[in-house]
Amino acid sequence: MKDTYLNLVNGPLKQVAKTLGLPQPVELQRFDSTPESYRRKPVLVLGAGPEAQKLADMLLENGLEVRRHSTSGESLRAIIAVLDDAKTPTDLSETVLGIGSALRSLAKCGRVITISMAPDAQNQDPELAAAAQGITGLTRSLAHEMRAGSTANGILLDGVDLQAPSVATALWFLLSGKSAYVSGQFVTVSSQEGTPVRMEQFLSTGTSGPLAGRSAVVTGAARGIGAAIARNLARDGAHVIGVDMPQAGQALAEVMNEIGGKTLQLDITAESAAQKIAEAVGGPVDVLIHNAGITRDKMLANMDAARWNSVITVNIAAQARVNAHLSEKGLFADGAQVVSLASTSGIAGNRGQTNYATSKAGVIGLTAASAKDFAHRGGTINAVAPGFIETDMTAKMPPLTRQVARRLSSLQQGGHPVDVAETIGFLASAGARGINGTTVRVCGQNMVGA
């Protein structure tokens, strides 16, 4: 849905908004709208340890301009702070203050990325745990301070070093326009799995794209976020099998015809759904995106069994059944990757959505608990939790409520379906196989919305 306010404050009402102190969101630079002049701007790498220099060298090898010290008057594409060697909270000071002094040099829609050890209070000594946890607070707070469409995110190293392939893949994602609506989030790399991917390949499309040669099943693919996911996976080289209800057959066919995909009309809750998916793929399933979902909102005091059960059945029980069947029957390919749609409602809760929030929190739990099983096959399962995304669902909100929800995010605007799709494409790529059992929010730090 069009955000008229955003267009006005970037046009005829720009000065009025500035004078009155009104929110001034900027048009985000997404994958297909990032100017070449931005791509040429240098990346500042901060950190005193040897890993910081290794990271700088890797960025140079991938064609990026790199600085190890801030230069006055130079516009920066990104600031990357390598904090993996911080053993106590006091060890953070030099690098963190270096971020602060360079922030004013950050270009519009710039990036700040922290790289640090994952917090593990059970196995780290108290000061190390304090430093690791402190970095998460630093990054989330900094994300709230960013301006002009810029974001701050982190990469957490859980038993791996910076040379793990998925660290580079996470960097390419967070540096690019693919992560435009991801802010205040952390990507945890927990294994050395993953195919090394250069930045050029990660940003390529078609037969050179990161999903080239792989089949990808997308449920609920006829419209909205599902259609955006299907389009993006096809753009990145996958052969897409789009799944939706027979009632959505015409819309599904239009999307699949557009991208050269295959249609599969079925009820995802049917006992035979998993087998029919495998038959439509015609071989082991490489990528499975669980996007199909419904809402049946009602206050719990007024909730009937039909509303409750239908949401639970579609949003979580069907996912669990399909995963279990494909796994038990050996229908997942070696290295198969699954991404499920959760929601910020499943994290923060939402008034009138006890059934929906239960189902989406269930997705997060199912994802974490299934990670070990997928890892045994060299694969992964992860989840993406959208916040306020401009869809037909949010378009039905009262106008004032919709405007407030948009401005509550750090980016002061709603996300687009493509923002969710880009994050899913990243997690479904072979370079991300070191990321497993995690949930990434796509919400611009806004906990409102589905």
Q: Examine domains 24-189 and 205-442 and report if their fold is the same.
A: yes
The pTM for the full model equals: 0.94
Neighbours of 246 (CB within 10 A): 9
Q: Which of 226, 448, 415, 225 is nearest to 345 (CA)?
A: 448
**What residues contact 233, with CB distance under 8 A and at least 6 apart?**
211, 216, 218, 240, 287, 289, 421, 424, 425, 428
Query: Closest Cα to residue 202, out of 231, 229, 227, 177?
Result: 177
- Alpha carbon 439 to its chain's center: 8
* Superfamily per CATH, domain 205-442: NAD(P)-binding Rossmann-like Domain (3.40.50.720)
Residues 125 and 268: their CA atoms lie apart, in Å, by 47
pLDDT digits (tens, 9 = 90+) for 186-231: 999 999 999 999 999 999 999 999 999 999 999 999 999 999 999 9
| Higher local confidence (pLDDT), 409 or 375 | 375
Question: Does the pLDDT value for residue 448 go beyond 60?
Answer: no
Catalytic residue among 5, 38, 181, 356: 356
Q: Are 267 and 321 in contact (CB under 8 A)?
A: no
**How far is it, in rounded angstroms, from Cα 125 to Cα 128?**
5
Specify whether the CB–CB gap between 189 and 221 falls below 8 A. Answer: no
CB-hemisphere CA count at 13 Å for 199?
17
**210 phi, psi to nearest 5 deg:** -70, -10
Per-residue pLDDT, 49: 87
Instruction: Write down the domain spans for the chain.
Output: 24-189, 205-442
24-189 under CATH 1.10.10.10, yes or no: no
* Predicted local confidence at residue 1, as pLDDT: 65
pLDDT tens-digit readout, 337-364: 999 999 999 998 889 999 999 999 999 9
5 has catalytic annotation: no
pLDDT, tens only, 47-66: 988 999 999 999 999 999 99
Q: What is the pLDDT of residues 93-135, one digit of tens each?
A: 999 999 999 999 999 999 999 999 999 989 999 999 999 999 9
Q: State how far the alpha carbon of 382 is from the alpha carbons of 209, 284, 293, 337, 385, in Å.
A: 21, 19, 17, 8, 10
Number of residues written out for the chain: 450
pLDDT (tens digit per residue) in 170-188: 999 999 999 999 999 999 9
Question: What's the chain look like in SS3?
Answer: CCCHHHHHHCCCCHHHHHHHCCCCCCCCCCCCCCCHHHHCCCEEEECCCHHHHHHHHHHHHCCCCEECCCCCCCCEEEEEEECCCCCCHHHHHHHHHHHHHHHHHEEEEEEEEEEEECCCCCCCCHHHHHHHHHHHHHHHHHHHHCCCCCEEEEEEECCCCCCCHHHHHHHHHHHCHHHCCCCCCEEEECCCCCCCCCHHHHCCCHHHCCCCCCEEEEECCCCHHHHHHHHHHHHCCCEEEEEECHHHHHHHHHHHHHHCCEEEECCCCCCCHHHHHHHHHCCCEEEEEECCCCCCCCCHHHCCHHHHHHHHHHHHHHHHHHHHHHHHCCCEEEEEEEEEECCCHHHHCCCCCHHHHHHHHHHHHHHHHHHHHHHHCCCEEEEEEECCECCHHHHCCCHHHHHHHHHCCCCCCCECHHHHHHHHHHHCCHHHCCCCCCEEEECCCCCCCC
Residue 35, token pair as written in the block: 């100017």
Average pLDDT of the chain? 93
